[in-house]
């Protein structure tokens, strides 16, 4: 009986310790906690409306982004998988302006490289927006990402 009591106390003690990988708190910890996939892209400018939405038929989305993945590393690098799922690029990332914006550079993907405004960053959703140039025209886009299951 005494051993059961000791085991109970130890298990309680370990369960009370916080593990940031299980319960990320800061924006950095949340970004690092998972690999992100695109759930939805809404744009205006050269492209208009819902450009992509996960689960929508091909006729309902202008572009297939179902294979796009983005993984943030603690050393300030990131890995991006393109829409074919076959090509990857590494780059750099950092939070700027009091963690209200995300800057990604050196991926050579015009969609990713640049500064985005963080709209939502919680464990289940990461939404950011920004402006990029596509075919010599500006595109304003909001990208909602979710963890890869």
pLDDT digits (tens, 9 = 90+) for 57-100: 655 566 788 898 999 999 999 999 988 888 999 999 999 999 99
The pLDDT of 126-140, averaged and rounded, is 86
The CATH architecture of the domain made up of 24-147 is Beta Barrel (2.40)
Query: Which pLDDT does position 3 carry in this prediction?
Result: 33
| 134 in Cβ contact with 143 (< 8 Å) | no
pLDDT over threshold 90, residue 129: yes
| 129 in Cβ contact with 146 (< 8 Å) | no
Query: What is the domain partition of the chain in residue ranges?
Result: 24-147
The C-alpha atoms of residue 30 and residue 23 are separated, in whole angstroms, by: 9
Query: Which pLDDT does position 94 carry in this prediction?
Result: 97
């Amino acid at each position: 009986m005494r051993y059961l009591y000791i085991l109970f106390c130890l298990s309680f003690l370990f369960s009370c310790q916080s593990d940031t990988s299980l319960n990320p708190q800061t924006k950095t910890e949340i970004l690092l906690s998972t690999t992100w996939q695109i759930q939805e892209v809404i744009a205006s400018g050269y492209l208009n409306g819902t450009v992509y939405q996960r689960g929508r038929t091909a006729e309902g989305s202008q572009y297939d982004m179902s294979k796009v993945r983005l993984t943030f590393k603690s050393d300030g690098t990131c890995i991006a998988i393109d829409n074919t799922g076959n090509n990857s690029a590494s780059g750099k990332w950092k939070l700027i302006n009091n963690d209200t914006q995300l800057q990604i550079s050196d991926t050579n993907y015009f969609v990713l490289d640049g500064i985005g405004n963080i709209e939502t960053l919680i464990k289940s959703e990461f939404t950011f927006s920004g402006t990029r140039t596509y075919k010599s025209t500006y595109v304003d886009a909001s990208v909602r990402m979710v963890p890869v299951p």
